[in-house]
Amino acid sequence: MATNRFALTALTALAPVSWGSTYAVTTEFLPADRPLFTAALRALPAGLLLLALARVLPRGVWWGKAALLGALNIGAFFPLLFLSAYRLPGGMAAVVGSVGPLFVAGLSVPLLGERPTPRTLLTGVAAALGVSLVVLKTAGALDPVGALAALASAASMSAGTVLTKRWGRPDGVGPLALTAWQLTAGGLLIVPLALVAEGAPPALDGRAVGGYLYLALANTAIAYWLWFRGIGRLTATQVTFLGPLSPLTAAVIGWAALGQSLTPPQLAGMGLAFGATVLGQLRTRGPATATVAASAEAEAEDTRQAPDAAVPLGRVPERMR
């Protein structure tokens, strides 16, 4: 059980590690000042691709639930994320996201009935402090609009994470379909906003096309599938404490690929944030234990299809997930 849980946590952690590359790709490969266009191209193609693979549509109340989750996790989160990425240095754009565990802890009280433990709160503060130290040298370049966008994106993603945990998935529907629904709904929300606010799409060179392909496939389709799969098997707190891996990855990429230096305080902050991430994975007695114990059953459900849970788009392969 411990080995399976470690593998699950490691696979889920690949999502925020991948997202840590978003800032470098955005600033180095993509057209400038097009956050909504970038968000749309990241979300909608990935959602349609996964929808074609899952071949399952929502049914009943899940049309509304999928739309709301898509708006929180994708439709609002992506534009705000890219707005902050364009207006702030990569590390600083990510630092506000490190308060995600504290947002999740607060939202888990009314929505999940889980009271945060002192360890959770202290670990969340330690994670935020560690990430702040990583970007300490750029603190003077704070842009108010970018900072507010980063804060709002963290709040949106935290709310989406908690609601995803609260609602789970329809019987017989795996994380692939749930991911497809949210990416498609969020992408469809972003497209008209991009057209109104930014006008016609810009001309793209090969460098930009490659950047968008990376964002849509590895950074979004695969990463979000891993993320939502992890939410179904780990507690919301455990999942959100993987979030600091994103700014840590951004800092490492900035050092390794963009020639940015890392000072001793930044290295200390990276160690503190990584330690908080590890500590956040420790289980507590109660609902968290039950959640992890149920992970094997959730894994088995991924390959089952309940006819009353969703509308199949043709025949679904037995081992499509």
The per-residue DSSP string of 252-318 comes to: HHHHHHS-----HHHHHHHHHHHHHHHHTT---TTHHHHHHHTHHHHHHHTT---TTT-EESSPPPT
Whole domain around residue 102: which residue ranges?
A: 2-301
Candidate ranges 79-83, 204-208, 252-256; pick with highest mean pLDDT: 204-208
Please report how the helices 245-257 and 264-279 are oriented relative to each other, as an axis angle in degrees rounded to 10. 150
Residue 308 included in any domain = no
Average pLDDT, rounded, for the chain? 82
SS3 116: coil
* Alpha-carbon span 305 to 174, nearest angstrom: 8
* Alpha-carbon span 302 to 169, nearest angstrom: 10
| Cβ pair 100, 273 in contact under 8 A | no
Chain-centroid distance, C-alpha 6: 19
Q: What is the predicted pLDDT for the residue at 301?
A: 47
* Alpha-carbon span 65 to 301, nearest angstrom: 20
User: Where is pLDDT greater, at 115 or 93?
Assistant: 115
| Portion of the chain with pLDDT greater than 90, in percent | 41
For 147, half-sphere exposure in the C-beta direction (CA atoms, 13 angstrom radius) is 8
Q: What is the mean pLDDT of residues 58-85?
A: 91
Cα torsion at 75, 80, 86, 92 (round to 10°)?
Answer: -130
**DSSP codes, 45-82:** HHHHHHHHHH-EE--TTHHHHHHHHHIIIIIIHHHHHH
Residue 314 region by backbone torsions, left for phi larger than 0, else alpha for psi between -120 and 50, else beta: left
Q: What is the predicted pLDDT for the residue at 89?
A: 65
* Alpha-carbon span 317 to 321, nearest angstrom: 9
- The string of pLDDT tens digits covering residues 66-78 is 999 999 999 999 8
Residue given tokens 């411990």 in the structure block:
2
Q: Is the pLDDT of residue 320 over 80?
A: no
Residue 316 included in any domain = no
Q: Is the pLDDT of residue 319 over 60?
A: no
SS3 282: coil
Residue 28 included in any domain = yes
Q: What is the predicted pLDDT for the residue at 83?
A: 80
- The string of pLDDT tens digits covering residues 119-169 is 888 988 888 888 878 765 544 556 788 888 888 988 999 999 999 999 999
Residue 242 included in any domain = yes
SS3 186: helix
Residue 189 included in any domain = yes
SS3 120: helix
SS3 312: strand
Chain-centroid distance, C-alpha 259: 27
- The string of pLDDT tens digits covering residues 258-317 is 777 778 888 888 888 888 888 888 865 544 444 444 444 444 444 444 333 444 444 333
Residue given tokens 């898509």 in the structure block:
70
Number of compact structural domains in the chain: 1
- The string of pLDDT tens digits covering residues 175-194 is 999 999 999 999 999 999 99
Residue 163 included in any domain = yes
Cβ-based neighbour number of residue 293 at 10 Å = 10
